[in-house]
Amino acid sequence: MTEATVPLRSAIAPEYTWNAESVFPSVEAWHAEAEALPAAIAAIARYKDHLADGPDQLLEALDAMEALLRRVAKVMAYALLDHNVDTANQAAARRFGQGQSLYGQTFGAIGFVDPELLAIGRETLGAWMQSEPRLAVFAHYVSDLFRRQAHVRSTEVEQLLGLLADPFSGTHATASFLTSADLTFRPAVAADGTEIAMSQAAWDHLRASPDRDARRTAWESYMDAHLAFKNTLASNLATSIKQNAFYTRARRYESSLAGSLFENDIPVEVFHNLIETFRRNVPTWHRYWDVRRQALGVDQLHPYDIWAPLTLAQPKVPFRQAVDWICAGLAPLGQDYVEALRRGCLEQRWVDIYPNQGKREGAFSAGTAGTHPFIVMSYTDTLFSLSTLAHELGHSMHSYLTWRSQPLVYRNYSLFVAEVASNFNQAMVRAYLLGQDSDRDFQLSLLEEAMSNFHRYFFIMPTLARFELETHQRVERGQGLTATDMIELMADLFSEGYGEAVHVDRQRVGITWATFGHMYSDYYVYQYATGIAGAHALARPIIAGQPGKAEAYLRFLSAGSSIYPLDALKLAGVDLTRPEPVEAAFSVLAGMVDRLEQLCAG
């Protein structure tokens, strides 16, 4: 899809857009609520220094804060979605900024809560939870608070850290505006000399073009556009890393990695196990590059060949067909799960479906308790879009079940488990489709999608995680970070991953970090790799029909943050503190490479 064929936002029919009016009936209603919130935020101060007055007072304060958080989260969800479906809409961008400000003010206002609870003491709080049943729900929260006690600061410091959430979000916003709205790209050029307009929306399409010249020039244009702003983007990311280092020091963690994983009670060994297992299994990727090179009939594979189609007979998959296939693949989870998903896609407008100018690249799921679990994506009638939809529906159904099952205090769940749920859906649907049609081209198309997914989550993301660890460690040692430093480090890491099979253009490959907004969520990317490993470990027995496994998985989805992520996964049947699930996922990958080699040879 080229820029010329990408419609304006105003041209998208309402039935293909997210159901904004289910959150607020109008923009005016959003503004009315946003303007009312500062007074509600200020009113929370009446509970400061009074949480120790007794269980009734504590319960009243917690109820008031829950009501406020519900309101703020709803305002923020609307602003976030409205902005991301059209990043060029200045009014929506202004509302997004206002929502971020309200969010930061809220967490600044309630910053006194944890220090005061700690001051009350574990024994007293335990007695209050026994005497007041409505407080009992906070048992895990209180237990976790005392686990984190050494890292909770005074009321004044906690309020300040809460207020920093808004200004510190600016680095991510800057990167998003620059890469989604402001970057310009020179046209790609097809083999016959035809110029093809390049844009964020066109990038995903052109990199999978059967025309190698179009792929190459699109990739060069995309990377060069980021390289043109390499110093700005590097300074921006370095500032984000310094912000995280500041939080690390403020909360007295030994490192940013330890601090990030501590929040969810995840040992740092989980991160290091992943990286070590990935490095041991890099030869599996080297074998895949060679299979792909031979299938394409080229002497040297380049990064832009990694997405090249291995068959031109790609099936067309309209959105409704995708929904049907996803529902069929997830049927082992039961009718309630499938029907909720189907209603969300076809009746309740969970999904903002099609591309439009200004829409944020990629896809994501967002919402809050009291709204639908919405999805923003750019569906293009391909198996790749079907897989993206399945992935995001994994997130949305995770949210749907958590919000339905858990109180507000546990409505969120960590990224660590989130990426299990999303990749699980893809694993289930892919297994279903591989068993439905033995046609060579259909099988090739499915395996191309599978390998593309594994490439992103099991090659790109661990490589970015290695980059992230090293850049954070350099900042924590007091070293500077320049664009040259980042590009050289990234190029070195990809050279190791590509081996001799893929040519590395060091500047263009080295700027890859700038193309991923994920880098502004510290220690996010490694969780894609642990997620895909956990997902396949959980999907395998369900696909095999083992009794009780689907029910255990649904309980995992419904747990929210009421238990720690690793414990939730253990209840579902996988232990990610050990390297075995990651090794097993590499076995799945190796099997796909074997099958692909057979199909290409045939």
Task: Return the active site residues.
Answer: 392
Q: How many degrees, rounded to 5, is the angle at CA 509 between CA 507 and CA 511?
A: 70
Structure token digits, residue 75 = 């305002």
CB 517 within 8 Å of CB 175: yes
For residue 539, give the nearest of 497, 588, 505 by alpha carbon.
588
The H or E element spanning position 547 is: none
Helix (H, G, I), strand (E, B) or coil at 190: coil
Residue carrying structure tokens 């990043």: 87
Read off the amino acid at residue 173: A
Radius of gyration of the chain (CA): 24
Amino acid at 357: Q
The residues, any chain, with a CB within 8 Å of residue 229's CB and separated by 6 or more, are 178, 183, 514
Question: Which token pair is 413?
Answer: 């769940």
Q: Do 166 and 104 touch, CB atoms closer than 8 A?
A: yes
Q: Is 7 left (phi over 0), alpha (psi -120 to 50) or beta?
A: beta
Determine whether 566 is exposed, middle or buried from the number of CB atoms within 10 Å of its CB (0-12, 13-18, 19+). buried
Question: Widest CA span of the chain, in angstroms?
Answer: 79
DSSP per position, 441-469: HHHHHHHHHHHHHHHIIIIIHHHHHHHHH
d(CA 446, CA 429): 10
Instruction: Please enumerate in sequence order all residues whose Cβ is within 8 A of that of 341, keeping only pairs 6 or more positions apart, or say none.
Output: 323, 326, 327, 330, 393, 396, 397
Q: Which of 101, 80, 83 lies closest to 93 in space, CA to CA?
A: 83
Closest by CA to 557, choosing from 399, 330, 326, is 399
Alpha helices in 281-382 (DSSP H): 282-296, 319-329, 335-346
Q: What is d(CA 252, CA 565) in angstroms, rounded to the nearest whole number?
A: 23
Give bridge partners of residue 502 from the DSSP assignment. 301
* Nearest residue to 128 (alpha-carbon basis) of 46, 68, 51: 51
The Cα 186–Cα 180 span in angstroms is 15
DSSP of 149-174: GGG---HHHHHHHHHTHHHHTHHHHH
| DSSP H or E stretch at residue 127 | helix 122-131
Tokens 């030869």, residue located: 283
